[in-house]
Amino acid sequence: MARTTVAVLFGGRSSEHSISSATAGGVLGAIDRDRFRVIPVGITRDGAFVLEQDDPGRFALDAAKLPEVVDNGTRILWPSVGDRMLRVARADGAVDELAEVDVVLPILHGLHGEDGTIQGFLDILELPYAGGGVLDSAVCMDKHFTKIALQAEGLPVAPGLTVRASRWAADADGVRAGVAQLGYPVFVKPARAGSSVGVSKAHDASELDEAMRVALAEDDKVLVEAGIVGREIEVAILEGRDGGRPRASLPGEIVLTTREFYDFDGKYLGGDGAETVCPAALTEDETERVREVARRAFEAVDGRGLARVDVFLTADGEILINELNTMPGFTPISMFPKCWIASGMTYAELITELLELGMARAA
């Protein structure tokens, strides 16, 4: 049987470049090589598409030296509509044909990858791809509009306030008053970033200005949310097959001990004080209610492919949606694959399922 050719697309121009590269290392090491031929396409921090090495070890997640895509002088030449032949221009000017691409796996995080832009690019080229589409990617990349979409479907979200850089510059006192009404502590986060980049917890008014400075350095739109006291529960979602409803994994839980919140170090660099547990220790009723909220959230944003839905479960049983990620952390130690593994699917099978969903959608 002929193998399916997959272009694995990773790296990118966002602040999450290294996490995307680490995800690529996991995918390259686990993908079923009997079924798939892989063409690794890296995107440098400057936005150049290069032909990368098919070497999982090169992109291992190392706290001492985070992986990245470097410019090796090659340039990927994308096909025009009606042609799926992927080509590469070598550093010496020679052009080689690589293969006809059957499906693209964009494992990009953040802007210029998880925000609908690369999805639109692939749609224009009529290349099948796995994961989210243009709309759900764009909506979920912007936490402000995610809240609007969820609230329109009657789904509960944490109270919050959106602050644009122009308003902060013109009326910081008004913003401070609005935040005070939310009640401290608050979380201050860039509206369009992930992996907890630029996120701070302000315990009182004296810490707000610095938290705003950190968040505005990442994005000119910031979301300030009331701190919710509750368990941090996450559900991995896969698009339904043959028009069926989204499939929800067993829920996992972020268990914090010494960390204030699940920050970048805790997620990726092995920092102490945070642990991912899947399945979470929930009652049968809590499990099913959380899974149903996650399915409804995915449907509310017209989700495609996959997403991780993050919620808070309060002591009185209330479920509040925190956010959706349309390309969640996908390293072997990340919550999304861990939840599906706990639900009976291997890491390699999960990759295969995503690729098959992308190809089925195109067909």
Q: Calculate mean pLDDT across residues 135-146.
A: 96
Do both 215 and 260 map to the same domain? no
- In angstroms, the Cα distances linking 348 to 4, 31, 122, 276 are 15, 5, 24, 20
**Residue 16 within a domain:** yes
Residue 123 contacts residue 104 (beta carbons within 8 Å): no
Q: Answer whether residue 148 shows pLDDT above 90.
A: yes
- List, for residues 270-327, the tens digit of each pLDDT value: 555 678 999 999 999 999 999 999 999 999 999 999 999 999 999 999 999 999 999 9
Residues 6+ apart with CB under 8 A from 49: 41, 42, 43, 75, 76, 78
- List, for residues 77-103, the tens digit of each pLDDT value: 999 998 999 999 999 999 999 999 999
| Dist CA 189 CA 175 (whole Å) | 15
Boundary residue ending a domain (170, 200, 226): 226
What band does 195 get if pLDDT is binned at 50, 70 and 90? Answer: low
Boundary residue ending a domain (182, 200, 226): 226
What band does 257 get if pLDDT is binned at 50, 70 and 90? Answer: confident
Residue 252 contacts residue 280 (beta carbons within 8 Å): yes
- List, for residues 14-57, the tens digit of each pLDDT value: 988 999 999 999 999 999 999 999 999 999 999 999 999 999 98
**Residue 60 within a domain:** yes
Do both 256 and 339 map to the same domain? yes
Q: Calculate mean pLDDT across residues 165-177.
A: 97
Q: Answer whether residue 64 shows pLDDT above 80.
A: no
CATH number of residue 215's parent domain: 3.30.1490.20
pLDDT at 363: 83
Q: Which one, of 202, 253, 254, lies nearest residue 223 by Cα?
A: 202
Do both 144 and 239 map to the same domain? yes
Could you tell me whether strands 4-11 and 103-106 are parallel, antiparallel, or unpaired per DSSP bridges?
A: parallel
**Residue 36 within a domain:** yes
pLDDT at 329: 86
Helix ranges, 226-300 (H): 264-268, 284-300
Residue 261 contacts residue 252 (beta carbons within 8 Å): no
Q: Answer whether residue 256 shows pLDDT above 60.
A: yes
| Dist CA 205 CA 226 (whole Å) | 13
pLDDT at 297: 98
pLDDT at 164: 97
Q: Calculate mean pLDDT across residues 187-213.
A: 90
| Dist CA 325 CA 327 (whole Å) | 5
Do both 215 and 319 map to the same domain? no
CATH number of residue 280's parent domain: 3.30.470.20
Do both 214 and 234 map to the same domain? no
**Residue 355 within a domain:** no
Do both 201 and 94 map to the same domain? no
Q: Answer whether residue 211 shows pLDDT above 70.
A: yes
pLDDT at 194: 65
Do both 144 and 272 map to the same domain? yes
Do both 8 and 124 map to the same domain? yes
More confident residue, 332 or 11: 11
Do both 34 and 74 map to the same domain? yes
Do both 310 and 191 map to the same domain? no
**Residue 349 within a domain:** no
Do both 113 and 211 map to the same domain? no
Q: Answer whether residue 73 shows pLDDT above 90.
A: yes
Do both 151 and 281 map to the same domain? yes
Helix ranges, the chain (H): 17-30, 117-125, 134-141, 143-152, 165-170, 172-182, 208-216, 264-268, 284-300, 335-342, 347-362
pLDDT at 262: 52
Q: Where in the sequence is the domain holding 339, given as residue range(s)?
A: 139-156+228-344
Q: Answer whether residue 62 shows pLDDT above 90.
A: no
pLDDT at 271: 52
Coil vs helix vs strand at 138: helix
User: How far is residue 255 CA from its own chain's centroid?
Assistant: 20
**Residue 263 within a domain:** yes
Could you tell me whether strands 274-277 and 306-313 are parallel, antiparallel, or unpaired per DSSP bridges?
A: unpaired
The total of structural domains in the chain comes to 3
The mean pLDDT of the chain is 93
pLDDT at 114: 92
**Residue 354 within a domain:** no
Q: Which residues pair with 42 in a beta bridge?
A: 10, 50
| Dist CA 285 CA 166 (whole Å) | 45
More confident residue, 3 or 15: 3
CATH number of residue 103's parent domain: 3.40.50.20
| Dist CA 104 CA 75 (whole Å) | 17
**Residue 320 within a domain:** yes
Percent of the chain with pLDDT over 70: 95
Q: Answer whether residue 13 shows pLDDT above 80.
A: yes
